[in-house]
Amino acid sequence: MPSVSKYGRYIYPMKMCFNVLGWLFVALFSISAILQYNDPDPFLWMVIYGLAMLVTLGFLFKKVPSLLPFVLGILGLFGFFYVLPEKFEGFVIGGGDIKNIEEAREAFGLLIIAVVMFILAIRIRFENRSEV
């Protein structure tokens, strides 16, 4: 039987939604880490995507404090602005300078990680509040 919040709404669909999204991002971050083998700096990006995958996995098993994804979200956001090229030329090869395209892909990968980590941090925070 689904839980009922203090407002009389069922909580179960939200938990199921976060579980599905969590497993989806575990898969996507894992695939992203694996596909970095042909990158000019594969180790760095494998670690970044692997860490995002591990934190998301920890979220699913309720083993992660809200501070960890929040800090990773901040780092991802700073990384986004640091890596973002001055001249954005898209993501498709052939549409501009290959270096700018590669940097744009890396920057937006960091932005995706940051957004997911912030969502996880907020969800963990609300789950912890509802248990008190």
Q: Any idea where the domains of the chain sit in the sequence?
A: 12-131
| pLDDT in the model for residue 10 | 58
| pLDDT in the model for residue 6 | 60
pTM for the full predicted model: 0.86
Tell me how far CA of residue 68 lies from CA of 6, 72, 75, 102, in angstroms. 28, 6, 11, 28
Residue 95 reports pLDDT greater than 70: no
Looking at per-residue confidence, does 13 or 47 come out higher? 47
Query: Minimum mean pLDDT among 6-10, 39-43, 49-53, 79-83: which range?
Result: 6-10
Mean pLDDT for the chain?
A: 89
Residue 132 reports pLDDT greater than 70: no
For residue 13, how many C-alpha atoms fall within 13 Å in the half-sphere facing its CB?
2
| pLDDT in the model for residue 87 | 85
Query: Minimum mean pLDDT among 16-20, 26-30, 88-92, 128-132: which range?
Result: 128-132
